[in-house]
Amino acid sequence: MSARAWKAVLDHLDEAAELAKLDGDVHRMLRTPRRLMEVSVPVRLDDGSVEVFTGWRVHHDTTRGPGKGGIRFHPDLDADEVKALAAMMTFKTALLDLPFGGAKGGVRCDPRRLSLNELERVTRRFTYEISPILGPEADIPAPDVNTDGRVMAWLMDTLSMVQGRTLPGSVTGKPLSIGGTRNHSGATSAGCLDCARAAFRELGMSLVGSRAVLQGFGKVGGPLAFLLSSAGMRVVAISDIGGAVYNEGGLDVGAVADHVAETGSVAGFGGGEPISADSIWDIECELLVPAALGGVIDTDVAERIRAQLIVEAANGPTRPEAQPVLDRRDIVVVPDILANAGGVTASYFEWAQAQQGYPWEDQVVAERLRQRMEHSFTAVWARAQTLGVGMRTAAHVVAVERVADAITARGLFP
């Protein structure tokens, strides 16, 4: 899976480079991560034994600014996956015109098997091992798979102890009590809504009364279902790892959320018809939002989808071989590097506030997020029309051009 993810990133880069008529030297530079740091993470477990985990931090490209990207803890993590995710962050930050480069990192471990104290020791030792390349002007981590604000607090504290000064700008997605922002957690969902609104407008479709199907009801899918419903859409089906529920007239999203809080899954919700999680692809709708795992839309699923528009809230939900099928069927796809970029944009805002030492008003954050998403969507849509390609290809062209312009402007040292 991870090798395939890295190959997919290179394929997108190669295609964009050809369309953008990218300089060959710049193209070769972007095909190779600038820095890959692999570290051993020895940790004393609660039973007194020592376990040695492996961790990575990758800087794909930092021409446009400090590295930016999450930290994940997962038992299947490897270097290729981290490289692919770091490259995606390079293009995502460029697409949103943020002054960041692309980075990613993590530890190969199963956090479910670790106590809270063990998890803290893993975080702190990993942070110490990669501390030479971290800092507010060098590399700013954020939460990712199996990490959260608490992990970011440990990371920030460890780095601050190492450097002997408090560094609130060294991480984003941290708790409010140490400089986090209220808008960070829901920003990915808000950005997806902004993209959906813009796409409906460009397609000449009305958002109000249209049907939405969500695959995933977690940290992104849950809030997004509420936002779509509040915007006037009928959320007719929702699935998660436990099952799925369908109601042609529209689900009561608040009631679904209460049910999930009690039971852990949408399965068994009384306000709709129980269906298999796989059958949501067959439901006729205007908007489909994959908001769970990557690689769920393969060629078979792409043939079954009955939506006019897909907004990718998850990272890499569409496999490369499935995109031509969606193109042939005239299904518009707002790709992940645009659709779910609200999260990294909110991270940029949090970092900027930490560097300034001054918090922004909530409405200022919300409006600036909306403007960034709108401007980025417009740039991608326009390029897609000009080149006669899909939005995924257009998004990579815009991003690659911006990174290439920065590389050209700075030149090659020495």
220: how many CB neighbours lie within 10 A of its CB? 25
**374 burial class (0-12, 13-18, 19+ CB within 10 angstroms)?**
middle
- pLDDT per position as a tens digit, 203-254: 999 999 999 999 999 989 999 999 999 999 999 999 999 999 999 999 999 9
pLDDT at 1: 55
349 occurs within a structural domain? no
Query: What one-character DSSP code corresponds to residue 22?
Result: -
How confident is residue 145, by pLDDT bands cut at 50, 70 and 90?
confident
- The reply to whether 104 belongs to the active site is yes
**281 burial class (0-12, 13-18, 19+ CB within 10 angstroms)?**
buried
How confident is residue 42, by pLDDT bands cut at 50, 70 and 90?
very high
pLDDT at residue 63 greater than cutoff 80: yes
DSSP assignment of 238-254: EEETTEEEE-TT---HH
Residues 150 and 201 in one domain: no
User: Is the whole-model pTM more than 0.85?
Assistant: yes
What gap in Å lies between CA 258 and CA 373, rounded to an integer?
30
**What's 235's domain CATH number?**
3.40.50.720
More confident residue, 184 or 98: 98
pLDDT at residue 357 greater than cutoff 80: yes
97: how many CB neighbours lie within 10 A of its CB? 16
344 occurs within a structural domain? no
pLDDT at 86: 97
Residues 60 and 165 in one domain: yes
- pLDDT per position as a tens digit, 159-191: 999 999 999 999 999 999 999 988 787 999 999
pLDDT at 213: 98
**What's 137's domain CATH number?**
3.40.50.10860
Dig out the tokens for 173 from the structure: 């997605």
91 occurs within a structural domain? yes
- CB of 309 within 8 A of CB of 196? yes
Cβ partners under 8 Å of residue 47, min gap 6: none
Residues 211 and 331 in one domain: yes
φ/ψ region of 146 (left if φ > 0, alpha if ψ in -120 to 50, else beta) reads left
- Segment 29-47 shows an average pLDDT of 98
- Segment 36-64 shows an average pLDDT of 98
Residues 264 and 199 in one domain: yes
361 occurs within a structural domain? no
226 occurs within a structural domain? yes
What is the count of structural domains for the chain? 2
Answer with the one of 307, 339, 371 that is the final residue of a domain. Answer: 339
In 277-380, where do the E strands start and end? 285-290, 307-311, 332-334
Q: Which helix (H) or strand (E) element contains residue 336?
A: helix 336-339
Percentage with pLDDT > 90 across the chain? 94
- pLDDT per position as a tens digit, 288-306: 999 998 889 999 999 999 9
Helix, strand, or coil (residue 12):
helix
Answer with the one of 170, 199, 217 that is the final residue of a domain. Answer: 170
- CB of 254 within 8 A of CB of 226? yes
pLDDT at 184: 80
Tell me the residue range of the domain where 138 lies. 2-9+33-170
118 occurs within a structural domain? yes
What gap in Å lies between CA 257 and CA 305, rounded to an integer?
25
pLDDT at residue 196 greater than cutoff 60: yes
pLDDT at 185: 75
Query: What average pLDDT is seen over the chain?
Result: 96
Distances in Å between the Cα of 38 and the Cα atoms of 34, 54, 125, 258 are 13, 7, 13, 42
Residues 155 and 290 in one domain: no
Distances in Å between the Cα of 142 and the Cα atoms of 14, 46, 220, 222, 345 are 28, 27, 16, 20, 12
What gap in Å lies between CA 13 and CA 324, rounded to an integer?
17
Instruction: Identify the active-site residue in 68, 83, 104, 174.
Output: 104
Answer with the one of 316, 339, 362 that is the final residue of a domain. Answer: 339
- CB of 134 within 8 A of CB of 160? no
Helix, strand, or coil (residue 154):
helix
- CB of 119 within 8 A of CB of 366? no
Residue that is written with structure tokens 């969507």 in the block: 377
74 occurs within a structural domain? yes
